[in-house]
DNA sequence: CCAGACGTTGTT
DNA sequence: GTCTGG
DNA sequence: CCAGACGTTGTT
DNA sequence: GTCTGG
């Protein structure tokens, strides 16, 4: 979920330029929906520019025939991301940060699935390590700027013991001081990227049991993250 | 050579 | 696009 | 990820 | 059980 304003994110991630329209805050972001990402573009003279952009959550590799494939590419395992055909090109060339206030996980309980909201102890914004792709929509004309669809995915890693009781995987979360390294376009070697991933520390998150309303994508309001149970 | 896959999560 | 399997 | 739909024939 | 929509 992400309810922070563009301005707050731009300040926090030292963004130079907002590209695209502002998105409504969301407390229930579903796969295939549009989220914000932070990327670095390199000018011809080598000057990096940090941009805040919109991207569809669910990576579409260049060879995807339609948008449906993206709904199954919402996560990428960090252990194999530099090797898998669907992700390796993006892993070396198109890394991004996906900002979020927190995220949800469901645990199977005796009476159905119990949702949890996971967030930083100090409620600071999380910087998910992500990848992005530009997918040429075959149904849109070459000369239409909308032809190039920005898509993204979020890396995952095994959960630490502290969170393993909720879920055995967690997103890869960058400490703020590693955001620059992650976005750095000069890191283009897969072994370098793997080393970078290995250096990312385990996230320290707090799980909060919340109400079941979050399960339905129709519900989207701040009350979704309130404690329940 | 061509055809077909390319992914993760969770559950069993 | 690129790799694997046949 | 979860929630919700998934189908045809025949009858009104 | 499996797919689609959000």
Q: What is the pLDDT along chain A (229 residues), one digit of tens a residue?
A: 888 999 999 999 999 999 999 999 999 999 999 999 999 998 888 899 999 999 999 999 999 988 888 888 999 999 999 999 999 999 999 999 999 999 999 998 877 899 999 999 999 999 999 999 999 998 888 888 889 999 999 999 999 887 778 888 999 999 999 999 999 999 999 999 999 999 999 999 999 999 999 999 899 999 999 998 7
CB of A219 lies under 7 Å from some atom of strand D:
no
CB of A146 lies under 7 Å from some atom of strand C:
no
**CATH number for the domain including A90?**
3.90.1680.10
- Residues A138, A132: Cα–Cα separation, whole Å: 18
CA of A23 to C1' of B9 (A): 28
Measure CA A164 to chain center: 20
CB A154 within 8 A of CB A98: yes
Q: Look up the ipTM and state it.
A: 0.78
Domains of chain A: total = 1
* Residue recorded with tokens 């897969």: A190
Would you say residue A131 lies in a domain?
A: yes
CB of A85 lies under 7 Å from some atom of strand C:
yes
CB of A33 lies under 7 Å from some atom of strand E:
yes
Would you say residue A83 lies in a domain?
A: yes
Which nucleotides of strand C come closer than 7 angstroms to any CB of the protein? Answer: 1-3
CB of A216 lies under 7 Å from some atom of strand D:
yes
Which nucleotides of strand D come closer than 7 angstroms to any CB of the protein? Answer: 1-4
Q: Is the dihedral of CA A182, A185, A190, A191 positive or negative?
A: negative
Would you say residue A221 lies in a domain?
A: no
Would you say residue A180 lies in a domain?
A: yes
* Boundaries of domain holding A179: 6-103+124-203
CA-CA distances (angstroms) from residue A171 to A89, A98, A181, A189, A201?
20, 10, 18, 22, 12
Would you say residue A96 lies in a domain?
A: yes
């Amino acid at each position: 979920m992400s309810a922070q304003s563009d301005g707050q994110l731009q300040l926090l991630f030292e963004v130079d330029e907002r590209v695209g329209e502002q998105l409504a805050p969301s407390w229930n972001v579903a796969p295939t929906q549009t989220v914000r990402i932070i990327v670095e573009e390199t000018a011809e003279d080598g000057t990096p520019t940090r941009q805040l952009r919109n991207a569809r959550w669910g990576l579409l590799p260049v060879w995807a025939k339609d948008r449906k494939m993206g709904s199954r590419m919402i996560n990428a395992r960090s252990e194999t991301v530099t090797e898998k055909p669907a992700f390796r090109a993006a892993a070396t060339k198109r890394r991004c940060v996906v900002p979020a206030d927190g995220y949800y996980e469901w645990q199977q309980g005796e009476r159905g699935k119990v949702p949890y909201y996971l967030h930083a102890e100090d409620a600071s914004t999380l910087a998910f390590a992500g990848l992005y792709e530009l997918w040429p929509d075959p149904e849109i004309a070459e000369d239409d700027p909308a032809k190039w669809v920005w898509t993204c995915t979020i890396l995952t890693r095994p959960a630490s013991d502290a969170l393993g009781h909720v879920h055995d995987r967690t997103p890869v979360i960058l400490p703020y001081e590693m955001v620059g390294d992650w976005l750095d376009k000069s890191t283009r070697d897969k072994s370098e990227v793997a080393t970078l991933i290995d250096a990312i520390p385990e996230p320290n998150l707090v799980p909060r049991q919340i109400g079941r309303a979050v399960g339905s994508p129709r519900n989207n309001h701040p009350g979704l993250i309130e404690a329940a149970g």
